[in-house]
């Protein structure tokens, strides 16, 4: 057998091994993301309603992701040199930290992922490209980490918060709505970011309504003018919330009634998106 033939066969063999390895990495990465979604959704299923911004915030515990965290650790052991894949799971780690209220860890993980300049988040197809969107939302300032800190139950309105709410909502909305016309209905990554931006709009609205109603404490307040302004604010922000969520919901979700919204999807997070959209719809039509 000639050297040329042996070399050609070796190249073919190496190519086959590389393709097999790529397939293993891709399937393992997909399995990790599927585990994460399953564990995340199982906790959201316990939430039955959202009536204000704070109730939309994810407040989970680290031990609620045992399968995902174990799979991430094993993946790093098995594929230490797969830079692209490891960037994906570092973003995922940041999301887990975010949703379990470990905001310092979330910022660190996002920073590490952002520093992996030679690695791409667009290598693997399908839904995994949403990791690029998540990383953008995690790194932008103010962004998604700031939003979830703000949405913690017990957060109180303070002077200057309105601008922070507005800036956070603006930066997240920009990411969620970029090229929205070409995004498939029901895209999960953009819907998550849009929902976070919508909750920040609710916080911004709440702040402005509190300021407006505080005028009632002044001598001889114009109650009619104040009430009209409160209604106008509800309508204004309702429209903003509705417009944020609409591109990311399916036609069935958009047409759902409040009482059957929870049956729209096997995953509770879709109900949350529909509920936020419905809140916007009701605010837009507010009359009191």
State if pTM tops 0.95. no
What gap in Å lies between CA 101 and CA 104, rounded to an integer? 9
pLDDT in tens, 55-87: 555 555 556 788 898 899 999 999 888 888 899
Most confident range (mean pLDDT) of 15-24, 146-155, 186-195, 273-282 is: 273-282
pLDDT in tens, 82-108: 888 899 899 999 999 898 888 999 999
253 contacts: CB under 8 Å, gap ≥ 6: 186, 261, 264, 265, 270, 273, 274, 277
79 contacts: CB under 8 Å, gap ≥ 6: 25, 28, 85, 86
Phi, psi of 100 (to 5 degrees): -110, 20
Q: What is the pLDDT of residue 220?
A: 92
- Token pair for residue 195? 């929902």
What gap in Å lies between CA 76 and CA 69, rounded to an integer? 11
Stretch (H or E) spanning 70: helix 66-78
CB 200 within 8 A of CB 147: yes
Q: Average pLDDT of 34-57?
A: 67
Residue 23, judged by CB atoms within 10 A of its CB (0-12, 13-18, 19+), counts as exposed
Reply yes or no on whether the pLDDT at 14 is more than 50. Answer: no
């Amino acid at each position: 057998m000639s050297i040329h033939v042996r070399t050609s066969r070796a190249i073919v063999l190496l190519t086959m091994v590389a393709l097999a390895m790529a397939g293993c990495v891709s399937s393992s990465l997909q399995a990790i993301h599927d585990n994460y979604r399953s564990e995340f959704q199982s906790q959201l299923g316990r939430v039955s309603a959202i009536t204000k911004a704070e109730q939309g915030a994810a407040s989970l515990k680290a031990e609620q992701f045992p399968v995902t965290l174990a799979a991430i650790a094993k993946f790093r052991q098995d594929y230490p040199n797969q830079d692209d894949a490891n960037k994906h799971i570092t973003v995922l780690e940041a999301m887990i930290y975010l949703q379990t209220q470990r905001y310092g860890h979330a910022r660190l993980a996002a920073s590490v992922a952002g520093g992996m300049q030679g690695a791409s988040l667009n290598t693997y197809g399908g839904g995994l490209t949403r990791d690029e969107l998540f990383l953008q939302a995690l790194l932008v300032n103010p962004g998604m980490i700031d939003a979830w800190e703000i949405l913690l139950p017990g957060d109180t309105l303070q002077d200057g918060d309105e601008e922070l709410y507005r800036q956070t909502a603006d930066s997240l909305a920009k990411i969620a709505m970029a090229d929205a016309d070409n995004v498939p209905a029901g895209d999960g990554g953009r819907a998550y970011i849009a929902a976070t931006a919508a909750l920040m709009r609710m916080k911004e609205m709440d702040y402005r309504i509190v300021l407006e109603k505080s005028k009632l404490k002044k001598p001889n307040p114009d109650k009619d003018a104040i009430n009209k302004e409160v209604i106008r604010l509800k309508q204004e922000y309702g429209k903003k919330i509705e417009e944020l969520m609409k591109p990311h919901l399916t036609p069935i979700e958009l047409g759902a009634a409040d009482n059957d919204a929870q049956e729209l999807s096997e995953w509770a997070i879709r109900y949350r998106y529909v509920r936020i959209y419905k809140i916007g719809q009701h605010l837009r039509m507010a009359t009191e």
